[in-house]
Each structure stands twice: as C-alpha cells, then as structure tokens.
Structure 1
Amino acid sequence: MPYRRTPDVQARLDAQRELLLDAAVRLLAERGYAGCSVAAVAAAAGVATGSVYRHFPSKAELVAELFRRVVEREVAAVEQASASASEVTDRITAVIETFATRALKAPRLAYALLAEPVDAPVEQQRLVFRQAFRDIVARRISEGVAAGVLPAQDADIAAAALVGAVAEVMIGPLTAESADADAIPTLCTFAIQALGGSACDTPPDGNGGHHAAHP
C-alpha cells in the first residue's frame, strides 16, 4: 500500500516550502540570480541543503517558482493601478508608472526579472512576465482605439513594442549605484506619443477636431 502523507506532515512540508521561497526572494533581491544558490537559500531559511532539494530539483526550478510568485504579485499591482484610472491614456501610463516605481524600490530583484542571465526554466517565466504586462497594455490600447482616443493599430504589436522599450530603458536605472526615477515621465510621454495619442485623451468630435479639455 503506497505511503500517504498525513495532513500534519503535508502542512509541515508546505510551510517549509513557503519558508524556502521567502528566503529565495530575499536573496534574489539582495544578490540577484547569481547569488541565489541552493546552499545560500538553505542557509537563509535555516535548513539543510537537502531540504531544498526535497522541494525543488534544482536552483533553476526553485527560482522559476519564485519568479511565478513575484510575477503574479507585480502583474496584480499593475492591473489594479491601470484599472483604477478613469482616462484611457492614464490607464496606459499607470502601467508604466506602477511597474517602474515598484522596480526602482527593489532594483536588484527587478533586474533579475528583466535582464540578468538565467537558466532556461527561469527564462520561460521571464517571457510569461513580459507577456502578462503586454496583455494589460494591449487591453488598454484596444480601449483607446474603441473610444477614438488612439488611432487604429494592432494592439498586441504596439503593446509588445512598448513593454520592450520600457524594459530596455529601465535596465540603466536598475543597474546604477543609485536608482533614479527621472526616466519614468519620459517613458510615459513616449508611450502615449508612440501610440498616436496626446496628453488630452478626449475622443475626436464629429468635425474631425477634438473636444476641448476640461480644466
């Protein structure tokens, strides 16, 4: 008869897994992917190295799992910020502002998520990360096109281009000795202009012009 874990045993294993993931996130934020070894995670969690392998076959699998956790958290924060804005262009810039601001608060972690050399399983999660942000931006672009605020365009391609540009620009501030938020307003302006919008996202009127912005 195969062995079945009791609820108490499973609860202890689940708690240990969470402990390991919490320790791994801290190490990733402090040292990046290169410094997030299995031995280091075990030491930070106060367990034996073998305990890590009991839950994760390799460092890559461990970091891929914590990437999933972090990505879900960051995507949720961006989605919430974007959905709370009333104007279409504000919803788009909210994605950039929220992502960039949160990234600068944890630059080492953000750099690991965006650009640090990683193993294949982690790279797959990085693609998921970028696609999730692309999907949020694409929805906002589609809303802008439907509202007449933005010109007709392929929302997925435009969103992918914007996400790529934001990631590329943010690498500089994330790897600098002191994280600098000066690039964020420029990124937001670039995003709206690249999409064919303007600071005033009032839809065009029937005469081909634009309604006056409310003060």
Structure 2
Amino acid sequence: MSYKRSTLMQERMEQNRKIILQSARDLIAQGGFKDAQIQAIAERAGVSSGLVYRYFENKSQVLIEVLSDAITHEIGILFSIAKSELDPVQKLDKAVTTFVKRAMNRPQLAYSLMFEPVDPELEHERFRSKERIKQSITQILDEGKQQGVFHFRDLNTAAQCVVATMTYVVVEPLNPSQEVDFDEEYRDNFVQQISEFCVKAIQVV
C-alpha cells in the first residue's frame, strides 16, 4: 500500500512538473521570455506560485528546462535525418530546411529560444544547445567528406559555419519587432535559399 501511494505521488509530481513547463513554453510562444514570469506560469498551470518553487529554484531554471526540452526534440529530428538512408547532400539539405521551417512555424517561440536577450545562465544553456546541434551536422558533413561529395579544411569549422547559417539567418524574419509577414511562398523560397547556400558552400563541384 505504501509503495502504491509512493508511485501515485511520484506520478502526480511528474504531471505537475510537465504542466508547469508546458505553461511556461506556451507563454514564451505568445510573448517571449518576458511574459514567462513565475506568477503567470503558475496561473496558466492552475497551481500556486509556491508549488512552482517546489520544483524550480527560480524563473531561470524553468526557462532553462524549457529550452533544453525544446532543443532536445529538435536535435532528435536532426540525428534521425543524419542516420537516414539519404545521401549526404540530401541529408544536409533536409536537416537545414527542416530546422528552419520548424523555426518559422513558431516564430515567437523560436526567436525567444535562440535570440531574445537573457541572463548569463540561460545564455550558457543556449551555447550548449548549439553545440549539440553541431554534433548532428558534423555527422552529416563527415560522411559527405568521406564519400568525396563535400570539401572543407576543417570539419569542426565547417559544421560551425552551417549551424551559424541555419540559426542566425532567421533572426530578422523571426524578430517580433520587425513585423515580417511571411506567407508560404516567401517561407519556402527563404528556406530553399538557406539550404542551397549551406550545401553549395561545401559541395564538391
């Protein structure tokens, strides 16, 4: 009986944690990190601020976990592409287009997670996230070089350049202050140009 009670308590705690994180993510997607205050997170989750503090020491810890969870999901997609049966050129094209399209589908969330000014602790988590993205791109580029379809001097530098392109290039269209209204045609052309740039920069011709 004690074991069952303990299991139910653990499940309830996990559920509370998930609700808090989802509420924080929803607020970020609507108005950025500035809107994801502890009180607002608690109200959206239907819990007290005190309960939020039972799971997280402060707002930064909540936001770091939201960022980590979001990036982990994106990295899973990128590694799935890297391990697919596509050839290296197709893999790089798909990795870049998929990442950028997904960012543009949730502009406010993507902008906040990648660019919105944050405290040093959260900025450090951003750096770690980009390193993890780079690992998936490195795998694709290494395979391409071994097959003779990619050429570059240094694998790490080439991967950094690709990641920098596929992330920072979207800062302008995603920036809420720019009020860019991109329709499907604009988005598709924008994404295609980014992908072509990345592939042609290292492709053997």
Residue by residue over 1:115-143, the C-alpha shift from the partner in whole angstroms, topping out at 9 and shown as x without a partner, is: 11112222122112211111111111111
Match of 1:207 in 2: none
Identity of aligned residues (%): 26
Match of 1:197 in 2: 204
Deviates more, 1:40-49 or 1:83-92: 83-92
**CA–CA distance in structure 2, aligned partners of residues 190 and 21 of structure 1:** 36
**CA–CA distance in structure 2, aligned partners of residues 68 and 126 of structure 1:** 8
Shift of 1:9: 2.5
Match of 1:185 in 2: 192
Residue by residue over 1:115-174, the C-alpha shift from the partner in whole angstroms, topping out at 9 and shown as x without a partner, is: 111122221221122111111111111111100111252111111111112222111121
The one-letter code matched in structure 2 to 1:147 is: Q
Q: Name the SS of the counterpart of 1:6 in structure 2.
A: helix
**CA–CA distance in structure 1, aligned partners of residues 47 and 128 of structure 2:** 31
Shift of 1:7: 2.9
Match of 1:142 in 2: 142
Shift of 1:39: 0.8
Residue by residue over 1:164-211, the C-alpha shift from the partner in whole angstroms, topping out at 9 and shown as x without a partner, is: 12222111121244244132111111111211435xxxxxxxxxxxxx
Match of 2:126 in 1: 126
Answer whether contact 2:42 2:49 (CA < 8 A) is retained. Answer: yes
Answer whether contact 1:135 1:156 (CA < 8 A) is retained. Answer: no
Match of 2:25 in 1: 25
The one-letter code matched in structure 2 to 1:185 is: Q
Answer whether contact 2:99 2:166 (CA < 8 A) is retained. Answer: no
Which structure is richer in relative contact order (CA contacts within 8 A, separation 6 or more)?
2
Match of 1:201 in 2: none
Deviates more, 1:37-46 or 1:178-187: 178-187
**CA–CA distance in structure 2, aligned partners of residues 197 and 55 of structure 1:** 51
Residue by residue over 1:18-76, the C-alpha shift from the partner in whole angstroms, topping out at 9 and shown as x without a partner, is: 11011111111111111111111001101111111111111000010111111111111
Please report the TM-score for the alignment, with normalisation by the length of structure 2: 0.88
Please report the TM-score for the alignment, with normalisation by the length of structure 1: 0.84
The one-letter code matched in structure 1 to 2:123 is: E
**CA–CA distance in structure 1, aligned partners of residues 190 and 83 of structure 2:** 23
Number of equivalenced pairs: 194
**CA–CA distance in structure 2, aligned partners of residues 197 and 135 of structure 1:** 22
**CA–CA distance in structure 2, aligned partners of residues 60 and 146 of structure 1:** 42
The one-letter code matched in structure 2 to 1:95 is: A
**CA–CA distance in structure 2, aligned partners of residues 149 and 46 of structure 1:** 54
Alignment of 1:76-95 (within 5 A): 76-84=76-84, 86-95=86-95
Alignment of 1:1-215 (within 5 A): 6-84=6-84, 86-175=86-175, 176-179=179-182, 180-181=186-187, 182-198=189-205
